[in-house]
Amino acid sequence: MDTYTIAVVGASGLVGRKMLQVLEERDFPVKDLRLLTSARSAGIELTFRGKSYRTEEVSARAFADVDIALFSAGSDASRQWAPVAVNAGAVVIDNSSAYRMTDGVPLIVPEVNSGDLPDAGPRIIANPNCSTIQMVVALKPLHDRYGLHRVVVTTYQSVSGAGKRGVDQLQAELDGGVAENPAFPHPIVENAIPHIAAFNESGFTVEEEKMINETRKILGDAQLNVSPTCVRIPVRSSHSEALHIEMRSSFELEDVRSMLSAFPGITVIDNPARMEYPLARNAAEKDDVFVGRLRRDPSVEHGLIMWVVSDSLRKGAATNAVQIAELWLSLLPSTGK
């Protein structure tokens, strides 16, 4: 079996640590591992497959002989170091927003648009925004079967989407204190903050813009109408979304339910009479996208409403990145490494 040298950039962060966990869980063919961080986090001990690894400061020499570099250190780090990794011969799978809308850079959710990576040629592959990933997984079978005209989405996003600072703020407030370095502009406990990332001149936030533009790119539909409102809530690790979908043709609800149930990566939980529907706490530490509360929207023709939940650190970040790496490897000829 071929094995590969893997670098994780941002290894000490929430997503970086989750990447290590997912690589181990999925038995990824790792020959050697480089755990790269900022100077501030260098020297931390992390464990992979029972072996202790010490993080080191990211540098050009750290990418020597690296086959795949998983980046989750923010856009600035990706812009600085992804080209360095590529020049050293690595393929970069980037979890930041730095390259998502760059022409020629595939933006991949393997269950949805693996065909956008037709061979192992691209050296930078972008991992979409966490809230976009779970939405497009739920939308893909509907888009293929019925066509989509408009999607109105409200997100209820966990604090882990803001990294360790977000989790620390939630914990500090739950403990009755105040975070030393808060991630959010307001207290998060007993609150819902309709503000994720900076506002632009249109009144939408950067997070909402990501959902619009990334969804169009991933689904290959530049005319798709997407109208998001992104909200932060005091949940640790799973994002929830209410989707109001206007399709281009008629549908039967049972056909939709069957189609979603059969789609890779989706689990349908939809029995309101027994109070069974996707819950954020139940989605934690799972890789599927959970869909429920399926019902017609009588306010528009061909309207459908659904509730979508997924772990934002796993499918929304680390698992999707590792799945991209697996997809990329499947397109390589065997080298006997």
Q: Which residues are catalytic?
A: 130, 239
Question: How far apart are the C-alpha atoms of 331 and 326, rounded to whole Å?
Answer: 9
**Which segments within the chain are labelled E, that is strand?**
4-9, 30-37, 45-48, 51-54, 56-57, 68-71, 91-94, 124-126, 148-157, 225-232, 238-247, 266-268, 289-296, 303-311
Question: How far apart are the C-alpha atoms of 134 and 201, rounded to whole Å?
Answer: 27
Q: How many CB atoms lie within 10 A of CB 278?
A: 24
Question: How far apart are the C-alpha atoms of 8 and 96, rounded to whole Å?
Answer: 13
Angle at 130 between CA 17 and CA 117, to 5 degrees: 95
* 260 alpha-carbon distance from chain centroid: 20
**Which segments within 183-331 are labelled E, that is strand?**
225-232, 238-247, 266-268, 289-296, 303-311
Q: How many CB atoms lie within 10 A of CB 49?
A: 11
Question: How far apart are the C-alpha atoms of 131 and 228, rounded to whole Å?
Answer: 10
Q: How many CB atoms lie within 10 A of CB 31?
A: 12
| DSSP-assigned letters across all residues of 222-246 | TT-EEEEEEEE-S-SSEEEEEEEEE
